[in-house]
Amino acid sequence: MTGSIKHFVNLQDYAPSTIEALLAQASAYQQGQLPTQTAQPVAVANLFFENSTRTQTSFQMAESRLGYQRFDLNPAHSSIQKGESLLDTMKTLAAIGIDLAVIRHSATAWYQPLLAAKDLPIRLVNAGDGVGQHPSQTLLDLLTIQQEFGHFDGLTVGFLGDLAHSRVVHSAAPTFRRLGMQLSFAGPTQWQDPALATQGDYVSVEELVQTADVVICLRVQLERLAQPAASAFTKQDYFDSYALTKDRAEKMKAGAIIMHPGPVNRDVEIDSDLVDGPRSRIFQQMRNGVFARMAMLQHLLTAPSERN
Ligand code: CP
């Protein structure tokens, strides 16, 4: 691989015009446009250090549709278990002929030490880092909103739930704002994130649900909660106080939609029936993920570098 190495770790590295172009390319793929074949075969390695169903399978599907050579590494069976660093693993994969690594990791900003390394010979794609960023999720969320409303400017998006531990909201908020959307946040006081107050308004659950064009329910991130925080609520207490219930959903604006990144804790952060109901775009989000990720990967390999 020659030329400047680029990476796709944070959507804030990309200008709004580039994000619009990525969405247009994702839509074109969805409408049946065939990918342009690269001159050389592309080899991609997927490393998921944290559990995933949607993101992992969706990247695999995107890579297959793009005609890439796909290598799915199981970190539990890799030499990282023998003490090899992530940087040395990347250098090793590059030496073997891998062009691009898609990585999910529980460490927030796992990519920073790698980007600091001189001449990293492999392109990195962030498939989710701790409570940091989830750029492919943000892109598929944008695609879903664009399909519904045809624009972003002036829409109100409400994020409801476990804000502090959600990379989905940390990734989406600044980019949604740059594209002209207004944001509101609601959730348990102890799971609020003061940093989000610079991106929008903290409001009551009722106000959020009644004023948003898009309600994004966030999963309670049990795996990131230490005891006793994990047991701060009974399931019923949380549902009654903070969930998108049927009673609350009845007061949503006409035309407003429900999104959730998944996996869903049914009857915890959202009433199970709403997941499959007419306002839900949750499975459309999953379908869109394949096309959004195709556009990301092709952009990384073919477009000139922006910041990275
Ligand atoms: N939304 C999301 O990242 O889901 P997975 O954890 O299943 O990939």
Residue 184's Cα: distance from chain center in Å? 19
DSSP structural state of residue 50: S
> Which residue is closest in CA terms to ligand 1's atom 5?
52
Contact 43, 66 (CB under 8 A): no
> Among residues 137, 83, 93, 86, which one has the least CA distance to residue 109?
86
Residues 6+ apart with CB under 8 A from 136: 55, 58, 59, 125, 126, 127, 289, 292, 293, 296
Q: What is residue 226's predicted lDDT score, i.e. its pLDDT? A: 65
Cβ 261 under 6 angstroms from ligand 1: yes
Cβ 65 under 6 angstroms from ligand 1: no
Task: State which of 46, 47, 50, 52 you would mutate to test the pocket of ligand 1, scoring each by most atoms of that ligand within 8 A of its C-beta.
Answer: 52
Taking the chain (308 residues) in runs of 10, the rounded mean pLDDT of each run is 69 96 98 89 96 97 97 92 94 96 97 91 96 98 98 98 96 98 96 95 98 96 67 88 98 98 96 98 98 96 62
What is d(CA 133, CA 76) in angstroms, rounded to the nearest whole number?
23
Spacing, Cα 53 to ligand 1 middle (Å): 6
Residue 297's Cα: distance from chain center in Å? 14
Cβ 50 under 6 angstroms from ligand 1: no
Which H/E stretch holds residue 202? strand 201-202
Task: State which of 48, 54, 131 you would mutate to test the pocket of ligand 1, scoring each by most atoms of that ligand within 8 A of its C-beta.
Answer: 54
> Among residues 257, 247, 269, which one has the least CA distance to residue 162?
269
Cβ 263 under 6 angstroms from ligand 1: yes
Contact 235, 195 (CB under 8 A): no
Cβ 53 under 6 angstroms from ligand 1: yes
Length of the chain: 308
Q: What is the pTM of this model?
A: 0.95
